[in-house]
Amino acid sequence: MIGGGLGGWEPGEWTDDTQMALCIAEEATGGQLDGTAVAARFLQWYRSGPADVGVQTSAVLSSAAGPADVARAAAENFSRNPGHSAGNGSLMRTAPVALACLGDDDALVEKAMDVSALTHADPLAGEACATWWVAIDRAIRFDMGPVEAMREGARLLGAGRSG
């Protein structure tokens, strides 16, 4: 890696999304995924002074008093900015979570919504994460192609969803 890019990255330096994906992966390694524990890792990372943090994520984490307060801060931010709170940040970092829930569609959707809502409370963001997690599950367990796997995720969410 040569560095550079949009953020003036040093060679080998990771983006904020990769750093937050590692926070999630570390929590998911035991097969369980607790939102408050993930929030604690997010806050620890944020308070370490990372080189870059997305606008939505920064707004939420800077206003959270502690791990138990992160989802509330995200919901509050969403209520103030309902058209600007979906973003792609929660989707870009969520792939590791699917590995903690392989084969359990209900858990995939629930955890997708919960972990996404830690920083991106818009239901569209959570639904995008759920669709992606189901696609990862199907690709691993059934060797499904990406388009078919994404359609499976959308079908699982079903009618009545935001997107």
Give the DSSP letter of residue 68.
Answer: G
Q: CA 29 to CA 50: how far, in whole Å?
A: 23
Hey, what are 84's tokens? 């600007």
CATH number, domain containing residue 74: 1.10.4080.10
pLDDT at residue number 48: 95
**Poorest-confidence range of 2-6, 12-16, 33-37, 113-117?**
2-6
What mean pLDDT is reported for the chain?
86
Tens-place pLDDT, residues 45-59 = 999 999 889 989 999
Quick check: is 3 in a domain? Answer: no
What's the one-letter identity of residue 116?
S
**Nearest to residue 128, comparing CAs of 82, 75, 96, 90?**
90
Q: Is the predicted pLDDT of residue 159 greater than 70, yes or no? A: no
Q: CA 70 to CA 116: how far, in whole Å?
A: 11
* Three-state SS annotation for 73-138: HHHHHHHHCCCCCCCCHHHHCCHHHHCCCCCCHHHHHHHHHHHHCCCCCCHHHHHHHHHHHHHHHH
Q: Is the predicted pLDDT of residue 23 greater than 90, yes or no? A: yes
Task: List the domain range (segments joined by +) for residue 67.
Answer: 16-157
- For the CA atoms of 57, 8, 19, 44, the dihedral, rounded to the nearest 10 degrees, stands at -60
pLDDT at residue number 155: 84
Quick check: is 9 in a domain? Answer: no
Quick check: is 85 in a domain? Answer: yes
